[in-house]
Structure 1
Amino acid sequence: MSKDTIVIREIKLEDNQQIEQVIRGCFHEFKIPLEGTAYTDEETPRMFESYQNSNDVYYVIDNNGEVLGGGGIKPLKDFEADVCEIQKMYFSPKVRGKGYGKLMFEKCLQSAKELGYKQCYIESAPQLKAAIHIYESYGFKHLKSGLGNTGHYSCGVWMIKDL
């Protein structure tokens, strides 16, 4: 896998099945609960369709047609309009530890600013220690409980950052 064949781009309809497999694979790999998480979200099998509004975007990591990860920005459901959520940021083991997660994270944060959001919220599972460390390094602060209505009652880490 050569670095110059990998691109971060907006999701396409034909990416749905591959990104669903990447997302769901991480839950089994890291032993994250399936219920009350992105694993059982109605959006997970239809990511392209779920990110077609003017105030959201979803990106994938593409290596010559193979989707190796993704992440997106959406308004935080049932919360203040100027707060977004970074959602469904998961990566295949093939790209972990190579800097693509940080690139994706930075792209999502930049998109959140460009879309006019004032704060960015993240929910995560405690098992995803490397991801949580990255969020902390970018200035995300831990919250005592969740915000909005994500339906992810099995996530035990909630964080927020001013943009």
Structure 2
Amino acid sequence: MSKDTIVIREIKPDDNVQLEQVIRDCFHEFKIPLEGTAYSDKETPRMYQSYQSDNDIYFVIDKNGEVLGGGGIKPLSGFETEVCEIQKMYFSHKVRGLGYGKKLFEKCMQTAKDLGYKQCYIESASQLKAAIHIYESYGFKHLQGALGNTGHYSCGVWMIKDL
């Protein structure tokens, strides 16, 4: 009998289809608007290709070859180079509540520090109350409006933290 193995690792090209499905499923499950969010981003079907620069990275949660979620960091578009954005952090219901989301989140923040970012920015939807609570518990502060040029005009929660 094999033991289930869950790992957090960098994204691979073969992860695109599974990850896109996880992301899109979350939008329907939580009734998040589809336009002006990650749902309609051109990056969403091409996640591996979208995170191949020196100053960005995307991690997935993998359970025996099944992608159950992910999250990444990139420079905040249209803003200072010392500010990164945690992006496209979504998880399948199969892995929520098991602590892997927090581990991935911590890995993203540590990687942001290692890459030399000074601040970390997050946009979210108000429907994702558990995620927002986690961000607050890590010291993220709410902003009155969006920073940068993410194109996510349907996101109504903006937060930032000094690293």
Scaled by the length of structure 2, the TM-score of the pair is: 0.98
Structure 2 residue aligned with 1:46:
46
1:125–1:3 distance in 2 versus 1, CA, 3 Å = farther
Separation (CA, whole Å) in 2 of partners of 1:3 and 1:54: 35
Is 1:16 aligned with 2:16? yes
Structure 2 residue aligned with 1:113:
113
Aligned-partner residue type, residue 82 of structure 2 = D
Aligned-partner residue type, residue 9 of structure 1 = R
State the shift of 1:4 in Å: 5.8
Structure 2 unaligned segments of length 5 or more: list them. none
Structure 2 residue aligned with 1:73:
73
* Paired positions, count: 162
Aligned CA RMSD, in angstroms, stands at 1.1
Separation (CA, whole Å) in 1 of partners of 2:32 and 2:7: 28
**C-alpha deviations, 1:40-62, integer Å up to 9, x for none?**
00000000000000000000000
Structure 2 residue aligned with 1:124:
124
- Give the fraction of aligned pairs with identical amino acids, expressed as a percent: 82
**C-alpha deviations, 1:17-42, integer Å up to 9, x for none?**
00000000000000000000000000
Separation (CA, whole Å) in 2 of partners of 1:115 and 1:39: 27
**C-alpha deviations, 1:51-95, integer Å up to 9, x for none?**
000000000000010000000000000000000000000000000
Aligned-partner residue type, residue 148 of structure 1 = G
**C-alpha deviations, 1:84-136, integer Å up to 9, x for none?**
00000000000000101100100000000000000000000000000000000
Separation (CA, whole Å) in 1 of partners of 2:87 and 2:112: 12
Structure 1 unaligned segments of length 5 or more: list them. none
- Which 4+ runs in 1 deviate beyond 3 A? none
Structure 1 residue aligned with 2:134:
134
Separation (CA, whole Å) in 2 of partners of 1:20 and 1:10: 15
1:58 aligned counterpart, secondary structure: strand
